Structure 1
Amino acid sequence: MTQLLDNIFWHSLSGAQVHFAEGEASARRYAKGFSPILGFADAQHPDFQAITPYCELGEQFYCAGWSGTIPSGWQLVAESTMYRMVWDGEIPPDEPEFQARRLDPFNQQDAEQAMALAQLTNPGPFGLRTIELGEYLAYFDNTKLVAMAGERSFAPPYREVSGVCTHPNYQGQGWAKRLMHKIIRRQLLANEIPFLHVMRSNDAAHALYLRMGFHDYCETAVRVIRRCE
């Protein structure tokens, strides 16, 4: 079953989340407006010829598990590695007194506030429609969104915890962690297995997730690439 995690974006885009995807038998992407992520049936030998017709010139995408030659028509923007982590802890306690609100993916103001916070804090690939991919919980200061955590990729039973971020002016209160606990609790009660990604360079977040109850499943290559002439 853990083989799903070895190529999680492909299994999400070709399985439970195929209705959010565009592409063909060997290559898919989240549709425009969602998180700009590519998935390939063979992650180590991605079929860029198949996915190119579904990508516009200038679009940037994240691509995991691949470190080969950059194909013609594409440009490398950045590359690094990230940890893929899986939950191994106890179920978090319920916190009914913590006033989190679910973001409404069909509410334009919610979607725009989530996008603005993601652009400010850069928790990973994010789009205006990303909050349609799962449950996104948020903490507000009056009407201002200041912290959120949600769900992105899903290949049953594995569901990703993603979009975890806090506005710089509101950090240190533990709100994002408490939002994560609510997400993780819901997933575990639904017999899902939480997992997440964190960049290797983000030592503070990696250490926090280890303390919370995640363990490292693997370290994998991740690239940002752009379709060009």
Structure 2
Amino acid sequence: MQANHPLDRPALSALTTRQAHLALADGPAIRFDPAYALFAAVRDDPADWSALARLARATGPVALFEADAPEPPGFEQIDHIPCLQMTCDALTPARRTVDFVDLTDADGPEMLALATLTRPGPFLERTHQLGRFVGVRREGRLVAMAGERLNMDGHGEVSGVCTHPDWRGQGLAGGLMRIVTAGILQRGDSAFLHARAAHVETIAFYETLGFRPRMRIDYRVLAAAG
């Protein structure tokens, strides 16, 4: 793993490049507008946790997303998920395709409802505006989707992948992931994603698409104490 690679601290890389317009800051502490995502980071080394605590008190809980993310002083941990970061520079050949639609802001409530039901990962009121999302509709209902979340110079994240329980086993998630990943690669970026480290079958599935493990990464949700 290359030292100081943008993907070592993906939230910081996104907040200081392509998604800087969505950033809220307090000195060296920086976070996404909480309507979009909980991700936050501290730009200083050593980290100024007091600045992040002030930002969290003003705007709500934050999530650290980086290798060996610490449990900083002045916070209460709400959640901790060990994850595996995976990258893709070329998709494997597809066995089949899916009919899809590009989702728009008008689809936001349905997207949030599907994500709330299936829990693919943190998905908030405006998460669907972080990048391109595509979906599959059946009988007028949104039954599967995938899209982009963190976006930085040279890299785009595949995220929000989910399928309604009634429509699983039809290859919808994999097909939609291919569409999103292909779009990232076509613009000259590499694609990456994050999987729960404990979900061995999910990781193996991502490998069939062309993703390869890069590093372990911690997701910690924190609330400012006091």
- Return the TM-score normalized by structure 2: 0.88
Q: Which runs of 5+ in 2 are unaligned?
A: none
CA distance in 2, matches of 1:91, 1:69: 38
Q: Any conservation in 2 of the 1:64–1:222 contact (CA below 8 Å)?
A: yes
Deviation at 1:54, TM superposition (A): 3.4
The answer for the alignment partner of 1:103 in structure 2 is 103
The answer for the alignment partner of 2:31 in structure 1 is 29
The answer for the alignment partner of 1:18 in structure 2 is 20
Percent of residue pairs identical: 28
Choose from 122, 126, 131 the match for 1:125.
122
Choose from 142, 146, 156 the match for 1:145.
142
SS in 2 for 1:55: helix
Deviates more, 1:162-171 or 1:44-53: 44-53
| Alignment of 1:134 onto 2:131 | yes
Distance 1:33 1:77, change over 3 A: same
Q: Any conservation in 1 of the 2:56–2:62 contact (CA below 8 Å)?
A: no
SS in 1 for 2:110: helix
The answer for the alignment partner of 1:86 in structure 2 is 87
CA distance in 2, matches of 1:162, 1:46: 28
Q: Any conservation in 2 of the 1:70–1:76 contact (CA below 8 Å)?
A: no
Deviates more, 1:75-84 or 1:55-64: 55-64
Q: Which runs of 5+ in 1 are unaligned?
A: none
Q: Which amino acid aligns with 1:12?
A: A
CA distance in 2, matches of 1:94, 1:182: 13
Deviation at 1:76, TM superposition (A): 0.7
Distance 1:225 1:184, change over 3 A: same
The answer for the alignment partner of 2:193 in structure 1 is 196
CA distance in 2, matches of 1:173, 1:45: 48
Q: Which amino acid aligns with 2:85?
A: R
Deviation at 1:68, TM superposition (A): 3.1
CA distance in 2, matches of 1:40, 1:193: 25
Distance 1:167 1:61, change over 3 A: farther
Q: Which amino acid aligns with 2:109?
A: E
CA distance in 1, matches of 2:46, 2:135: 38
CA distance in 2, matches of 1:15, 1:24: 17
SS in 1 for 2:85: strand
Q: Provide, for residues 129-168 of structure 1, a one-character-per-residue CA deviation record: whole Å limited to 9, x for no partner.
A: 1111110001111221111100011112100000011111
SS in 1 for 2:111: helix
Q: Which amino acid aligns with 2:79?
A: A
Q: Any conservation in 1 of the 2:92–2:208 contact (CA below 8 Å)?
A: no
Choose from 175, 179, 200 the match for 2:172.
175
Q: Provide, for residues 92-128 of structure 1, a one-character-per-residue CA deviation record: whole Å limited to 9, x for no partner.
A: 5697x732111112x2xx1111111111111111111
Q: Any conservation in 2 of the 1:37–1:125 contact (CA below 8 Å)?
A: no
The answer for the alignment partner of 1:48 in structure 2 is 49
- Return the TM-score normalized by structure 1: 0.87
The answer for the alignment partner of 1:216 in structure 2 is 213
Deviation at 1:194, TM superposition (A): 0.5
SS in 1 for 2:125: coil
CA distance in 2, matches of 1:20, 1:148: 23
Aligned length: 223
Distance 1:210 1:46, change over 3 A: farther
